Amino acid sequence: MVVADVSVHQLLTNPAAMEQLGVTARDAAGDVVFDFGVLQRLLQERYEQYVARAGQGGGGDEMVRRAVTSAFKYAQQCNAFSLLAGGWTGTVAGLLRHVNHVLLDIMRGHALFMQGRLLGVGA
Mean pLDDT for the stretch of residues 105-119? 84
For the chain, percent of residues with pLDDT exceeding 70: 92
What is the residue extent of each domain of the chain? 3-89
Q: How far is CA 20 from CA 10, 25, 87, 92, in A?
A: 12, 11, 27, 33
Look at 48 and 105; give whichever has higher pLDDT. 105
Whether 39 and 75 have beta carbons less than 8 Å apart is answered as: yes
Question: Band of the pLDDT at 2, cuts 50, 70, 90?
Answer: low
Look at 57 and 78; give whichever has higher pLDDT. 78
Q: What is the mean pLDDT of the chain?
A: 85
